[in-house]
Amino acid sequence: MKQTSGTQHPVPKASWSEAEIPLQAGHPASSNQQPATSIQHPASSNQRPVTSIQHPATSNQQPVAGFTLLEILIAIFIFAIIITTVFASYRIVFSNTDTINKDITSYEMARNCLNRMIMDLQSVHVSLPPGYMPPDFDDPPDLFRIVGEATTIKGSDFPWLRFTSLAHLPLGKSRPSGIVEIVYYVQGTDDAGFVLKRADNSYPFQDFEEKASDPVLCEDVKALTIKYLDQEGEEYDVWDSDDETYEYATPKAVKIKLELDTGSDSVLFETMVTLPVIREKLK
């Protein structure tokens, strides 16, 4: 009788019911799924322990923005240009302050001068027929005549104008009324300049003489031109309402051009005054 050694008897299969098979959460039951265990494995050798050390920024992070030396130099250069321009402008303005003030003074003086002349001419007084008769050879000149002449002062030509007016300019405490004789004339100054003066004489009218007391109407006169217009609009450089050349008529209008020297430049002013009363030509 042979004995068999090492014979392995089959182990009977345990009868597990499906309810007894442990399942992992979230996964359906599977025949290949191993039963879950509660054993927790320690960290493997490939895992590194977590530490609280904070590492510096990696190469992917952008550096803090700033200015390069070249940018700073360019900014300083532009700033220097701006400051230089601003100070240069201020220096020009301040250096021209005297010139600007002189120009303003000249404009004010010319305006006042022309306004005075306009007022005088708009108040002109002339003698009319039949009270006026053309003078004979030996008759005295008309007291209310209009005479415009040309004079030469220090090599420059200037006009001289005489007429009568009701626009008296009182000086001091005397305030005479009535018709006055007004004379515009230019006089030279010590500094090679010229001034325009206005003589204002009350009746009885004497032969005109320049006086130091005559008020200055305008200073820094560079040029003065007075034109006389007849009834047809023709211009004349001189005029005499007592002369047969002008047929004993008075001008219809007077045109005035005044040029002042401001030092650096000159300014020109012009106006025309239509006389309110005229004597027409006597033929």
For residues 203 and 111, the model is more confident at: 111
Which pTM does this prediction carry? 0.65
Using an 8 Å Cβ cutoff, are 208 and 217 in contact?
Answer: no
Q: What is the pLDDT of residue 99?
A: 66
Helix (H, G, I), strand (E, B) or coil at 27: coil
Distance CA 110, CA 88 (A): 32
Cα(252)–Cα(277) distance, integer angstroms: 8
* C-alpha separations of 219 from 86, 171, 187, 197, 214 in Å: 36, 19, 10, 9, 13
Strand partners, 202: 180
How confident is the model at residue 3, as a pLDDT? 44
Q: Cβ distance 257 to 270 under 8 Å? A: yes
249: its two tokens = 């008529």
pLDDT greater than 90 at residue 147: yes
* Mean pLDDT of the chain, nearest integer: 79
For residue range 23-61, list pLDDT tens digits in order.
444 444 444 444 444 444 444 445 555 445 555 545 555
Lookup: tokens for 161: 């104008």
Tell me which of 231 and 63 has the higher pLDDT. 231
Query: What are the extents of the domains in the chain?
Result: 103-274
- Give all strands (DSSP E) within the chain, no chain letters: 147-153, 156-165, 180-188, 194-202, 216-218, 221-229, 235-236, 239-240, 253-261, 266-274
Whether 274 contacts 228, CB under 8 Å: no
Residue 217, amino acid = L
